[in-house]
């Protein structure tokens, strides 16, 4: 069995996902290792932070070093020396968001992303070379990379999409979902089992979200993801979206909101709505700018570069038990950032990741003890 | 007792230095942690690489975060969470070399270093602010920083110095040496004992080097260092200098060549001439450019960025037992460098440091078993 439900408290739930690379206790935050490395951390750092599943990125690994090389070297786990469960997204989000970023900077002509019903052409952000993803190609690449959980190839519609445009993208996404399931019947080069998740799209339109939830839920996916620009980025819309589709999602599959975890409080929003998995680049990205999570103030974060921390002998956070908080003072981390030292990135990233994962551990305990609401309230989160 | 001689093999020797933060087995390479951090490594990484003593830099810590703050936070060990023995250089080398660098880039007027018989004025490389070091100030700063071994404040003469100029600098350095000894009779703010080393100067002039060796050896220093632009940078001149002063150096004090360790083979040159300690930024600096030490070829290094390593499943070096070599392939490290990933710096730095330290471990064994020459020859080093 892939997924077991362990306990519920309201709509929040705990569970366990079984993979050939180990079990994943849910709900859990999934640290992002875009290029087969969680930035600044080695695999021991990741494990010690309490991660049970990490992400890698199909788009990035396809461009560099290429899925054939990853396969030849034994798959992504062996490639990056990470023995635990892994997940790859399908590359859809990167193809569209990097195209949109180029459009924003250099005008519409620079957005080289061309969608047709069969697939999408795009340019590499590294060297401008032309590439094409279809559902079949995206699955084949993910087979070669070898993550335990892989994602269907989808079109991630911007929030600004009209109903018609969002509907068109959704219809294509659904057709691609079936093609991904078909393509996944082929076996990849690796010995372990790979599980396929479908992705609900539909932008910010209730009718489309429900239609997409119905469709994805009706198919033989191992798990159900919710994608889209607003998910994680706009937490009010994320909550609304999850409420729209709440009565449709099957109880017996894990649920994954893609891109949630900008702030520790965000995860209460999705867990309270029955979500089991979520990932976000923010904890490590903001860490590299010196923004560190803490319970010491209501914003749940501090900027360690601020002069007030220069002589501060406290750990970043008294509740946190990460390598950084157990061994280093705010004053030292402040110094590392001011002195542009590489160690700053590691100590900051370890902390933000452990902070999220310890929070998930305590949330799992709270759910299993039916005190999730009280626990959420203790974080100033009123669901 | 500060220093014990354990064994000799020709002029090479093994020994042990006792400090309040632990023992140092010699000969040993000392990793450099300029700003109270060995770049990209946390304190566990440093210990696991086998370091027993590391350096920090008086000039850099004086400018940022300032010695008073380091003292207030319990000294440099506690500041950076490193419990082993530490050494600070006196800042002399940085004052003069950073001034010379500015002169090279922007012309003579940009070199704001002004020496008088009492001390030296210089500008901060960070913000251009004016500072002054005298022997008394340099010792007071080092007392506050709190390293186990501190250095006398000296003038590091460039190789190009005429006999007259080198002699003048040496005479001042000797006067400062006596003032440092006097200043060191004051006790710093920390509880542990700090040992003071003198520095032999004299540039590339035999008469001056011998005169300086006589002078420094005659004073109540705990150890004897050899400084100068050529030391470490020009290994032929380093060897010649050590040969010039060989019959002068006392047997009962540890000897330290400042700046030696650009290449693994360099350390045979100094150890064979009775040197016990040496430091160099090169192992970590070249690591960050992808230059990694290996016994796999005669140059003892490889550039991991080269395309030939893209599919190479071997460790960087089969002999090395560092975290990187035990866990990661050349292909993965190649990928991290090509993808500009932060983890590249850590994995590369850990390797180069462990490589030097394991080499020192084997050299100590070889000396104590009277087979140093054979061991050196096995590294292609003919002393």
Q: Please enumerate residues of B whose Cβ is less than 8 A from a Cβ of A.
A: 35-37, 39-44, 60, 64-65, 69, 72-73, 79-81, 310-311, 313, 323, 327-329, 331-332, 335-336, 338-339, 341-343, 345-347
Query: Do A178 and A140 fall within a single domain?
Result: yes
| Interface test with chain B among A37, A43, A71, A336, by most B beta carbons within 10 Å | A37
Name the interface residues of A facing B (CB cutoff 8 Å).
35-37, 39-44, 60, 64-65, 69, 72-73, 79-81, 310-311, 313, 323, 327-329, 331-332, 335-336, 338-339, 341-343, 345-347
Distance from C-alpha of B235 to C-alpha of B230, rounded to nearest angstrom: 7
Query: Residue B64 is nearest to which of A313, A338, A345, comparing CB atoms?
Result: A338
| φ, ψ at A336 (rounded to 5°) | -60, -40
Both B49 and B176 in a single domain? yes
> Rounded CA gap, A316 and B154, in Å?
40
Non-local CB neighbours of A78 within 8 Å, separated by 6+ positions = none
Is A81 in contact with B332 (Cβ distance < 8 A)?
yes
Residue B383: inside a domain, yes or no?
A: no
Q: What is the CATH number of the domain that holds B252?
A: 3.20.20.105
- The neighbour count for residue A21, using CB atoms within 10 Å, is 20
Chain B residues whose CB is inside 8 A of the A43 CB are 327
A274 & A313 share domain: no
Q: Which of A72, A79, A347 sits opposite B332 (nearest CB)?
A: A79
Residue B369 included in any domain:
no
Sign of CA dihedral A96, A102, A103, A108: negative
Q: What are phi and psi of A197, to 5 degrees?
A: -105, 145
A375, part of any domain: no
Asked if residue A364 belongs to a domain, the reply is no
Of B44, B69, B310, the CB nearest to A311: B69
Q: Which residues of B touch A79 (CB under 8 A)?
A: 329, 331-332, 335
Q: Is position B148 annotated as part of the catalytic site?
A: no
Q: Residue B345: list chain A partners with CB under 8 A.
A: 342
Mutation site, A343, A344, A346, interface B, largest B CB count within 10 A:
A343
Q: Which of A331, A339, A342 minimises the CB distance to B64? A: A339
Burial of residue B347 (number of CB atoms within 10 Å: 0-12, 13-18, 19+): buried
d(CA B138, CA A210): 72
Radius of gyration of chain B (CA): 20
- Six token digits for residue B88: 């600070």
> Which token pair is A12?
């929040």
Q: pLDDT per residue over B56-93, tens digit each?
A: 999 999 999 999 999 999 999 999 999 999 999 998 88
Kindly report the nearest CA distance between residue A268 and chain B, in angstroms: 31
Question: In this structure, is residue B306 part of a structural domain?
Answer: yes
Q: In this prediction, what percent of chain B has a pLDDT beyond 90? A: 90
Measured between beta carbons, the chain A residues lying within 8 angstroms of B332 are 36, 73, 79-81
Quote the tokens at residue A55. Answer: 């992400």
Q: Give the C-alpha separation, A99 to A34, whole Å.
A: 17
Q: Which of A279, A310, A336 is the last residue of a domain?
A: A279
Determine the pLDDT at residue B259. 97
- Is ipTM beyond 0.90? yes
Interface with B, mutate which of A31, A336, A342, A348 (most B CBs under 10 A) = A342
Catalytic residue among B222, B266, B276, B279: B279
A63 → chain B, closest CA residue: B339
Residue of A89, A154, A222, A317 marked catalytic = A89
Q: Which of B40, B42, B44, B310 to mutate to test the interface with A (most CBs of A within 10 A)?
A: B42
Residues A172, A299 within the same domain = no
Same domain for B75 and B208? yes
Q: How far is B218 from chain A (nearest CA, A)?
A: 40
Inter-chain contacts counted by CB atoms under 8 A, chains A and B: 104
Please check whether residues B107 and B177 belong to one and the same domain. Answer: yes
The alpha carbon dihedral of B185, B189, B194, B200 has a sign of negative
Facing residue for A69 by CB, picked from B36, B40, B310: B310
- Shared domain check, B268 and B322: no
- Please give the Cα distance from B240 to B260 (Å, whole number): 14
Cβ neighbours of A39 in B, within 8 Å: 341-343
Residue B382 forms part of a structural domain: no
Confidence of residue B383 (pLDDT cuts 50, 70, 90): low
**What pLDDT was estimated at residue B92?**
83
Last residue of a domain, one of B241, B257, B280: B280
Co-location of B320 and B268 in the same domain: no
Provide the number of structural domains found in chain A.
2
Determine the structural domain holding residue B323 and report its residue range. 287-358
Count of C-beta atoms within a 10 Å radius of residue B129: 9
Q: Any catalytic annotation for residue A23?
A: no
pLDDT digits (tens, 9 = 90+) for B179-200: 999 999 999 999 999 999 999 9
**For the segment B209-246, what is each residue's pLDDT rounded down to a tens digit?**
999 999 999 999 999 999 999 999 999 999 999 999 99
3-state secondary structure A272-303: CCCCCEEECCHHHHHHHCCEEECCCCCCCEEE
**Partner-chain contact A338 B73, CB within 8 Å:** no
Single out the residue in A222, A247, A279 at which a domain terminates: A279
Q: Which of B40, B332, B335 sits opposite A343 (nearest CB)?
A: B40
B143 and B238 belong to one structural domain: yes
Tell whether A203 and A345 lie within a shared domain.
Answer: no
In the Cβ-directed half-sphere of B17, how many Cα atoms lie within 13 Å? 29
Which pair of tokens denotes residue A131? 């590439």
Whether A176 and A325 share a structural domain: no
Average pLDDT over residues B157-165: 91
Same domain, residue pair B86 and B178: yes
The tens-digit pLDDT sequence of chain A (383 residues) is: 899 999 999 999 999 999 999 999 999 999 999 999 999 999 999 999 999 999 999 999 999 999 999 999 999 999 999 999 999 999 888 888 887 888 888 888 877 789 999 999 999 999 999 999 999 999 999 999 999 999 999 998 888 899 999 999 999 999 999 999 999 999 999 999 999 999 999 999 999 999 999 999 999 999 999 999 999 999 999 999 999 999 999 999 999 999 999 999 999 999 999 999 999 999 999 999 999 999 999 999 999 999 999 999 999 999 999 999 999 999 999 999 999 999 999 999 999 999 999 999 999 999 999 999 999 999 998 76
* Minimum distance, in Å, between the CA of residue A92 and any CA atom of chain B: 20
The DSSP element (H or E) to which B167 belongs, if any, is: helix B163-183
Judging by beta carbons within 10 Å of its beta carbon (0-12, 13-18, 19+), is residue A324 exposed, middle or buried? buried
Q: Is a pLDDT exceeding 90 seen at residue B171?
A: yes
Cα separation, A307 vs B63, whole angstroms: 16
3-state class (DSSP) for residue A224: strand
Q: Which of B89, B148, B266, B317 is catalytic?
A: B89
Minimal Cα–Cα distance from B360 to chain A, Å? 26
The 10 Å Cβ neighbour count of residue A312 is 18
Residue B378 lies in a domain: no
- pLDDT on residue B93: 85
Inter-chain CB proximity A331 and B73 less than 8 Å: yes
- CA–CA gap between residue A21 and residue A19 (Å, rounded): 5
The reply to whether A341 falls in a domain is yes
The rounded distance, in Å, linking the Cα atoms of A237 and A289 is 27
């Amino acid at each position: 069995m892939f997924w077991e439900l362990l306990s519920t408290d309201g709509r929040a739930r705990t569970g366990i996902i079984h993979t050939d690379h180990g079990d994943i206790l849910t709900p859990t935050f999934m640290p992002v290792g875009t290029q087969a490395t969680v930035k600044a951390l080695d695999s021991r750092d990741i494990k010690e932070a309490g991660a049970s599943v990490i992400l890698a990125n199909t788009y990035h690994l396809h461009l560099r070093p290429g899925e054939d090389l990853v396969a030849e070297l034994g798959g992504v786990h062996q490639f990056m020396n990470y023995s635990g469960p892994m997940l790859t997204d399908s590359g859809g989000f990167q193809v569209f968001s990097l195209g949109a970023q180029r459009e924003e900077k250099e005008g519409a002509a620079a957005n080289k992303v061309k969608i047709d019903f069969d697939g999408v052409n795009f340019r590499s952000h590294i060297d401008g070379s032309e590439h094409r993803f279809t559902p079949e190609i995206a699955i084949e690449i993910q087979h070669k990379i070898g993550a335990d959980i892989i994602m269907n190839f989808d079109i991630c519609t911007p929030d600004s999409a009209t109903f018609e445009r969002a509907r068109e993208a959704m219809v294509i996404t659904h057709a691609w979902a079936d093609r991904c399931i078909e393509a996944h019947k082929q076996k990849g080069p690796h010995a372990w089992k790979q599980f396929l998740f479908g992705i609900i799209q539909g932008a910010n339109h209730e009718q489309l979200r429900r239609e997409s939830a119905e469709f994805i839920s009706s198919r033989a996916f191992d798990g159900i993801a919710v994608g889209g620009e607003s998910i994680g980025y706009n937490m009010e819309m994320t909550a609304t979206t999850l409420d729209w589709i709440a009565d449709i999602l099957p109880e017996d599959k894990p649920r994954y909101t893609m891109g949630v975890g900008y702030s520790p409080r965000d995860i209460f929003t999705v867990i309270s709505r029955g979500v089991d998995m979520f990932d976000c680049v923010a904890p490590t990205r903001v860490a590299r700018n010196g923004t560190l999570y803490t319970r010491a103030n209501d914003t749940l974060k501090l900027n360690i570069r601020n002069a007030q921390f220069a002589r501060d002998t406290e750990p970043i956070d008294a509740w946190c038990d990460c390598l950084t908080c157990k061994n280093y003072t705010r004053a030292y981390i402040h110094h590392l950032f001011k002195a542009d030292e590489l160690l700053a990135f590691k100590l900051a990233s370890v902390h933000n990741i452990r902070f999220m994962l310890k929070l998930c551990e305590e949330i799992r305990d709270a759910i299993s003890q039916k005190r999730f609401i009280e626990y959420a309230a203790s974080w100033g989160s009123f669901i």
